Amino acid sequence: MAALGTPFDLPLDDDPAGALHLAHSPCPNDTFIYHAWTSGLIDGAPATRLTFADIDVTNTACARGEFDVAKVSYAALPYLGDEWRLLPAGGALGRGCGPLVLTAGGTGTGDLAGKRVAVPSDRSTAFMLFNLWLRDLGSPEVTWEVVPFDQIMPAVRDGRFDAGLVIHEARFTYGEYGLRSLVDLGEWWEGSTGCPIPLGAIVAKSHLDTDAVTTAIRASLDYARAHPEASRAYVAEHAQEMSDDVCRMHIDLYVNEFSRDLGTEGRMAVERLLGGAADLGLVPKLTLAIP
């Protein structure tokens, strides 16, 4: 499997003309949701060609107009133009699933000034929450560098960075690297706003039949829930050597009611996050409609 920072196409025996180019991560929540659709198990769904890519790759690729349907960070939405539409299904929002700031040593929240921090993307919800949290601390000056998310914990453990901003299954495994959590940014966000955390969004090119795409995503999710054994081997194959237990916890945490529909609560969370960040000058104003 290619490094997470490098997009690669899933080999297909049949790549029909006109197939939608879909991009998402190889993380268990994405492979669980999209397996049925991309495997041709959903009758009447549009054909797909799949690329696995880290979210930092899809964030920048979609800003260049690449892909037809993609998983991006909610924090990247203000940088996407009118050629894209935000879809109400297939993304990642939730509670208790926020990013963590990890450290290997005695760094405390009052000691961050001048520290080097590894981050998975500079256009991610994790990075946006990190900056909002730093504002709450009085804006200590830190130096950050984008590092593929699967390399962040080893880099902090080995002393190449003072702290690391981590996402996904890292919340289940950071103890194995001898690291400790400096702050759970999800807990901080939920405590400050009462809102769930908008992490990953699904966008589609505006010229497409986005209703059909949304229907396919929901049907794929419904199939995955009804037949969890159907995707188990596929999820494990692409899960970066995660244990079965970690895969299951990952899916249980990130696949929830918001995966099928943003709903009123999800829409309010997106507006609160992106509106607040824009008011502070962290991102441009959002121009895409929230469905």
Question: Which pLDDT score is estimated for 121?
Answer: 85
Residues carrying CATH 3.40.190.10, the chain = 8-94+196-279, 100-193
Read off the amino acid at residue 52.
F
72 is in an annotated binding site: yes
Q: What pTM did the predictor assign?
A: 0.86
List, for residues 240-277, the tens digit of each pLDDT value.
768 889 899 999 999 999 999 999 999 999 999 999 99
Architecture per CATH, domain 8-94+196-279, reads as 3-Layer(aba) Sandwich (3.40)
What does the pLDDT read at residue 110? Answer: 77
DSSP 145-195: EE--HHHHHHHHHTTS-SEEEE-TTHHHHGGGGT-EEEEEHHHHHHHHH-P
pLDDT of residue 13: 36
CATH 3.30.360.30 fits 100-193, yes or no: no
Rounded (5°) CA angle 78-54-21: 80
Specify the residue for token string 């800003």: 63
Catalytic residue, from 21, 24, 35, 168: name it.
Answer: 168
- 201-237: pLDDT as tens digits: 999 999 999 999 999 999 999 999 999 999 999 999 9
168 part of the active site:
yes
Percent of the chain with pLDDT over 70: 94
Provide the pLDDT for residue 18: 82
Q: Is 125 annotated as a binding residue?
A: yes
> Using an 8 Å Cβ cutoff, are 278 and 70 in contact?
no
**Both structure tokens of 198:** 């908008």
Q: Where are the beta strands (DSSP E) in 78-149?
A: 84-86, 92-94, 100-103, 116-119, 143-146
By the 8 A CB rule, do 26 and 1 touch? yes
Mean pLDDT value of segment 162-191: 93
- pLDDT number for residue 153: 97
What pLDDT is stored for residue 236 in this prediction?
Answer: 94
What is the pLDDT, as a whole number, of residue 224? 98
225-234 per-position pLDDT tens digit: 999 999 999 9
Q: pLDDT tens digits, residue range 37-63? A: 999 999 999 999 999 998 889 999 999
Q: Is 107 annotated as a binding residue?
A: no
- 220 annotated among ligand-binding-site residues: no
Measured distance CA(144)–CA(134) in Å, rounded: 13
Q: Quick check: 242 and 169 in contact, CB under 8 A?
A: yes
Confidence grade of residue 14 (pLDDT, cut at 50, 70, 90): very low
Average pLDDT (171-197) is 95
Output the average pLDDT for the chain.
91
**Would you say 115 is a known binding-site residue?**
no
